[in-house]
Structure formats: C-alpha cells, structure tokens
Amino acid sequence: MDSNGSDRNKGNPRMLAASWSPLSPAERAVAIEVLTHGPVSRSEIARKLNLSAGSLTRLTKPLIESGLLVEDPAPAPVPPAVGGPSSAARTPPPAIRQGRPSQPLDIVADSRYFAGFKITEDTAYGVVTTLKSEVVAARALPLRTRDPADVADLLHTMTTGFAGDFPRLAGIGVGLGGHVVGPGCAVTSPFLGWDGVPFADLLEQRTDLPVVVENDVAALVESEAWFGAGRGLDRFVVLTIGAGVGYGLVIGGQLVRSGDDGRGIGRRWIIDPQGPLTPDGDRGSAVSLLSIPSIRYQVAAATGRNHTYDEILTLAAAGAPPASRVIGEAARALGTVVAQIANFAMPQKILLAGEGVGLVAVANPTIHEAIAANRHPLAEPVALETKISDFNDWARGAAVLAIKILVLGGPKP
C-alpha cells in the first residue's frame, strides 16, 4: 500500500506480502507495541521502549508511509473524574500545550489479511484474520488423504476461496502436531505420518503466497502471548490437553525455543509410575493420563463400550464408575503437572487450553487438591486460567505466527 493508501498491488498476492520493507529491530519493536496495545499514544510507546520523541518520530514515519500504521484521529482516552460532578468541577483545566497534539498510533487492521490453518488427523480448519488477529472468516474441510501433496491441494482450495472474499490476502500460517525444522519447514508429524515433508514449499508453489509452518502448540502460545491470556506478561506458560499434551514457555515476552519442540514431551513426562498403560504413552505418563484418546481407551477397556470424551465427562460428573475413576486420575495428574510447572518455571500465569480442558469443570476441586499437595504450603497461589480452545483458535494461532514473521520480520522456525 503506498503512502496515500491506494492498493496498487491488489491482484498480485506475492507483491502484497512483499509491499512492506523489512523492519529494523527498533521499527519492529514499535510495530509490535502498537499491534498488541494500539491505539496507543506516542508518549506511552516512547516510555515503554525507552525512546526519545525524535527517535520515535524517525521510526514511525516509514511505518505510517508504508500503510502499516496510522495516526488515529481520536484523542487518547482521558481517565474519568473521581468523586462525582463536584469533584470534577474542582479539577483545574489542563495546561495549554504548544504545537499539534499527539495522535495515538494504531495498526491498519484491514490493510492485509492472513489465512491460518490447523491440520488434524482428519480435518483442515482454516480462518482469515486481520492484522490484529480478528477472525473474519472460518471454514473446515475433511482431509481426503494424509498425503502431503493432497493436503496442500486442499489448503490451496480453501485459500482460493478465502482470497475471493479477501483479495488482500498476504500470507499463510499452518499449525500441526509435529516437529518443524529449517527454512524449508521440513515437517515430521506422527499424527499425519509425515517424515521430513517440505510442506511450506508445497503450499507456496500452489498458492504463490508466503507460507510459515509451525508446531501447533508453539503457534497457539505466540497467539496467546500477543493477544490473549499472556499479553503483557514476562513469564507465561500454555499447557494444552487434547489429542496429546503440549507445553510452551514464554520468558521476557519471547517463546523459549528448543530443538525438541514438537516431539511430544508428554509421552515421557511420568506422573505416576504405577499409572495406566495405554497405546499412546509410557505407563503413567502425562499423555497416558490426560490425553483424550487415552482417557477414552481406559474407559472402553473397562466397560467394553466406546464413549465420546464429552460422554465420559458427563458420566464422571454423575459419579458413574469407571468414568469417575479415570477422570479423577486425570484430574490428579493435571494438578500435579500444573504444580510442577509452577515450581520450576515460576510463571506469572498458566493457561490451560485445548479441547480436553472440559476436565476442569468436572473435577476442579481434585485438580486444586493435587496442586496444593505438590506445592510448598506457603507458596503463592498458582494463577491458573482455562480456555476451551476449538480448532479455529489453533488456526488463528497459525495466522498470528504468519503476521509475526511475514509482516514484522521475526525469525522463521
């Protein structure tokens, strides 16, 4: 987008994504501050980033000219008077300032759109978001096969449909359960049966859009750190339970990365050595105790009947054995895991997310008893927040990762 706001590149998706010049580290810091907190005053940005007024002006000028930022015509919000009309009447008028008043800065949210996808074993979930990660469209299609080329074809079809409604589509993020390596995004996923698949390249060839592929938990953590439960926190953890068990740690506002990302630590995270043995993890591991497939397996083995996860939670809430026993063990395991995270990572908040956190509503007292049993008696309470995430939330996380890397110039995974 040029400086007068015209969209000269509208029909060329590759040029759309490239229309912003790479940001310097200082420009990127300013853009992130506005993206995650805007509209925000210049003085607040300067204070948070320790910048002089002149330096901030130099940094924001190219961002405004490129169409990434805009000066919000609305004045910065003024705190309400305290104490009613009589108190307000006694408040002295603000001092008269010389020169043009400072206007808050904001992101031009609809200047570009991003597609985010979450790929499960049997379905592709897709969303379109604005630059502020607001979801404006969503769609899901079943996988025809798990062949990488076939999955890329399916996502191409979904992207084409999205682009018809949002022609300023500028990039794609993809999240999936697995280990992702290198700029070619070689993907190894036990859920999909992939080993070293260059999925980003496959999708870029079909869509002519830049693509970022990442482990789905890492993408969700980035999304929550920027726009959700972890916004503004220095130390923040996301723990997910669903098809597996996922963990992400944010320190200093940055996701802690490791060569082991996406390898599934839950299978070796032993909670109870005498716990259940299931096909999906070692005896008594976090996965064996907490994942939805393992919980369903245990109940089916005891009853001879297959139940959905929601049915098992309902049975457990009614006290029906063996569902109540299995859910009780899962709740104690979850409380133990939360306490261990709190003991060693010392986060300001732990977010429980994923399609399996309905467990909390059914067995919350048991979870908190286990937390207390595994913490020092004088330890501060664990700040625990629960979010039942549907697959569109995971897809949104992938879109946020695309925004971070393709627009703001963060490192590729």
CA distance 127 to 140: 9
Following DSSP, what letter does each residue of 130-155 receive, concatenated? -TT--EEEEEEEE-S---HHHHHHHH
What domains, with CATH codes, occur in the chain?
1-74+105-111 (1.10.10.10), 112-221+393-407 (3.30.420.40), 231-388 (3.30.420.40)
* 68 against 331, higher pLDDT: 331
Confidence tier at 231 by pLDDT (50, 70, 90): confident
- Cβ atoms of 138 and 392 within 8 Å: the answer is yes
Tens-digit pLDDT profile for residues 137-181: 999 999 999 999 999 999 999 999 999 999 889 999 999 988 888
CA distance 296 to 274: 19
Tokens at 387, concatenated: 């979010």
Q: What is the pLDDT of residue 412?
A: 52
- Cβ atoms of 412 and 379 within 8 Å: the answer is no
Nearest by Cα to 334 from 288, 278, 380: 288
- Mean pLDDT lowest for which of 167-176, 221-230, 259-268, 385-394? 259-268
- Mean pLDDT lowest for which of 73-77, 131-135, 321-325? 73-77
Stretch 378-390: mean pLDDT: 91
Stretch 212-221: mean pLDDT: 91
Name residue 76's amino acid. A
CA distance 149 to 169: 22
Residue 254: pLDDT over 70: yes
Q: Where does residue 14 rank: exposed (0-12), middle (13-18), buried (19+ CB within 10 A)?
A: middle
CA distance 354 to 390: 7
Report the 10 Å Cβ neighbour count for 409. 16
Q: Where does residue 228 rank: exposed (0-12), middle (13-18), buried (19+ CB within 10 A)?
A: buried
Residue 9: pLDDT over 70: no
Nearest by Cα to 383 from 394, 393, 375: 375
